[in-house]
Amino acid sequence: MIFLDNAGTTKMFRECVETYSHFACEEFYNPSAVSRQSAFVHAKLEDTRKFLLKKLGAVEGTIIFTGGATESNNLAIKGAARNGNFEYIFSNGEHPSVFNVAKNLGLEGKNVKFCKLGKNGKIDLADLESKLNKNVKLISCMLVSNETGAINDIKAIFSLRDRLAPNALLHVDAVQGFMKIPFSVEALKIDMLTFSAHKFHGPKGVGGLYVRKLNYIKNIVDGGGQEYGLRSGTENVPGIMAMRTAVERIDVKKNFEHVLELKQQLNKILSGVQGIKLFDFNGSPYIEVLVFDGVKGETMLHALEEKGVIVGLGSACSAKKAGNRILQEIGIDKDEIISSCRISFNAYMTSEEIEKAGKTIIEVYNDIKKRVS
C-alpha cells in the first residue's frame, strides 16, 4: 500500500511503539503520586517539556500536554475568552476544531469576526487589517493549511497585531507545520501554538499547547489540577514519551527537502495528462490538491484504494460531510471541488513509491473516463 493521506494521520514509528510499551508496562507510574518511581516519571515529563520548548525555538513559556490538537485548540480559544467588550478574530480557512469553536463563541454572544482567504489560500491581510483594533483579545490562525498546504505569513500577521491590536494574543494551529517545516515561535512572536503527535509519526491521542505565559488562558475542565491547573487529568505518559521519541528521530530540514523532491517528481509524472489538474499553492511540500475532470474525487479515492494507493478528500475530520468550505472560500469551482482529492506526503516515502503512485493515478483516471464516456 502507498499511503498519500499523511495530512490526515501518519504511521507511527516502531521506536515510538517501543517507547509507549515501556512507559505503559514498565515505568507505568502516575507522575502526580509521591513514590520515588512516580517522581522519576514526573522528571521525565518535565524534561520532555523542556525538550519540546527547545524544538519549538521558545525562549520562554511552557508546554501543556493535551489529548491532541482538538483539545489544544479548544483550550487556547475557550481558555482565552473573557467576559467584556472583547473581539476574537479567526479566518475562514481554519480546521473544524477552531472554526466550530469560533462559531459557538459567536452563538454565546462573543464578538467573533472571520477573515477572508485570498486566492493563494492565505489569510487576506488587508481584510485582517480592517478588523483589528484595541478591543481584539485573540487572533487564531493556521500556520499551514491542512487542505491546501498554503503557509500563512505569521510575521506579517504579528506585525499587524502589534500595530493595531497590541493587547491581542496570537494563537497558531501548527498541526501541519510542527516537525514538517522550519520555524520558531520566538522568531514568529507566537503566544500560543497547537501541535499533535499523530501528524508526525507519533501516537494518536496526545499533543500539546505551547503558551508563552500561563495567565493567557484559564482552565476549561475542572479536576485534580494537573498541567499547571490548566488541564486536569492524569497525563498520558506513554503517549507523551512516544511523542518525544518521534520528535527525536525527525530531521526537519532534511525531510523537507526530500518531500519537496517527491512532490516535484509526482507533479512531473502527472503534468500534461489531459483532465488532471494540479492546484499548487506554493506552500508546504507535504500537501497538494489534484482535480480529476469529469470524475468525482470520492470515485477516484475508492478506485485508487483498490489499486493500493490511499489518498484523501481534504480534512479527515470532515471528509464525510458534503462540500469543502476552504476550497470554496478561495474560489475553486464547485465542479472542481467535487472532483478533487488531497495528496499528502511523508518524508519516509521512496521515489519508487511515488513513481508507482503517479502511474496508478493516471491508469485509474483514464480507465474511469473510458467507462463513463
The residues that bridge with 114 in the sheet, in sequence order, are 90
Instruction: Please state, in angstroms and rounded to a whole number, the distance separating the CA atoms of residues 329 and 284.
Output: 19
- For the chain, report the end-to-end CA distance as a whole number of angstroms: 29
CATH of segment(s) 14-249 = 3.40.640.10
Task: Fill in the DSSP letter of residue 68.
Answer: S
Greatest Cα pair distance, the chain, in angstroms, is 71
Which pairs from 95-99 meet CB under 8 Å and 24+ separation?
Answer: 95/69, 95/142, 95/146, 95/173, 95/175, 95/315, 95/317, 96/315, 96/317, 96/318, 97/69, 97/70, 97/73, 97/173, 97/317, 98/73, 98/140, 98/142, 98/173, 99/325
At residue 320, the pLDDT reads: 47
Is 25 tagged catalytic? no
Q: Sketch the domain layout of the chain as residue ranges.
A: 2-9+251-372, 14-249
pLDDT at 371: 85
Measured CA angle at 131 (ends 106, 219), to 5 deg: 45
Please tell me the predicted confidence (pLDDT) of residue 120: 95
Residues of the chain below pLDDT 50: 318-322
Would you say domain 2-9+251-372 falls under CATH 3.40.50.150? no
pLDDT the model gives residue 280: 84
Question: According to the model, what pLDDT value does residue 319 have?
Answer: 46
What's the pLDDT score for residue 193? 98
Q: Which of 115, 141, 317, 341 is catalytic?
A: 317
